Amino acid sequence: MSNQSVQTVSTSNDKFKVALAVVATIAGVVGFFVLKGQNKPALVAAGALVAGLAIAVLLLWTSATGREFLGFAKESVRETRKVVWPSHKETTQITGIVFAFVVVMAIFLWGTDKILEFLLYDVILGWK
């Protein structure tokens, strides 16, 4: 028995819908910045952005590729909620360790640079 996975081939109609969704998203973003640049109310500019994104989501929902992507996005959000985030104390401790390591490495690299500079210019080349 074969364990090969079967891939569905998206039709050109689905590809066209995905392309239209991308265009709708870009149009929403461009509309947001154009309206914001014309000193329109923020609600109007945000409405253009939301409308473009809503149209894109509706177009994606009607295509097989889009439904797979939206399912993947929902599953990603669900998995993100399962993550155990560190507490404030743990975050502060880890950040302190990272800063200490950066300082130690900076001192080490500075010292290595000065030693190599001394060896190259003073001992080997005698330029100083």
Question: What's the gap between Cα 123 and its chain centre?
Answer: 49
Round to whole Å and give the CA distance between 81 and 30.
32
Tally of structural domains, the chain:
2
What is the percent of the chain where pLDDT is above 90? 56
Both 28 and 39 in a single domain? Answer: yes
Both 122 and 77 in a single domain? Answer: no
The domain of 102 spans 86-128
Both 8 and 61 in a single domain? Answer: yes
Round to whole Å and give the CA distance between 1 and 24.
45
Both 63 and 6 in a single domain? Answer: yes
pLDDT value of position 94: 97
| Amino acid symbol at 32 | F
φ/ψ of residue 85, rounded to 5: -80, 145
Both 93 and 75 in a single domain? Answer: no
Both 91 and 119 in a single domain? Answer: yes
Both 21 and 72 in a single domain? Answer: yes
Q: Cβ of 108: how many Cβ atoms within 10 Å?
A: 10
pLDDT value of position 4: 63
Q: At what angle do helices 42-61 and 64-81 cross, to 10 degrees?
A: 110
Kindly report, residue by residue over 19-77, the tens digit of the pLDDT: 999 999 999 999 999 988 888 788 888 999 999 999 998 988 888 887 888 889 899 99
pLDDT value of position 71: 87
Both 50 and 90 in a single domain? Answer: no
Both 104 and 71 in a single domain? Answer: no
Mean pLDDT across the chain, nearest whole number?
A: 88
pLDDT above 80 (res 82): yes
Global confidence as pTM = 0.50
Both 8 and 64 in a single domain? Answer: yes
Both 2 and 58 in a single domain? Answer: yes
Confidence of residue 91 (pLDDT cuts 50, 70, 90): very high
In the block, which residue shows the tokens 């690299």? 109
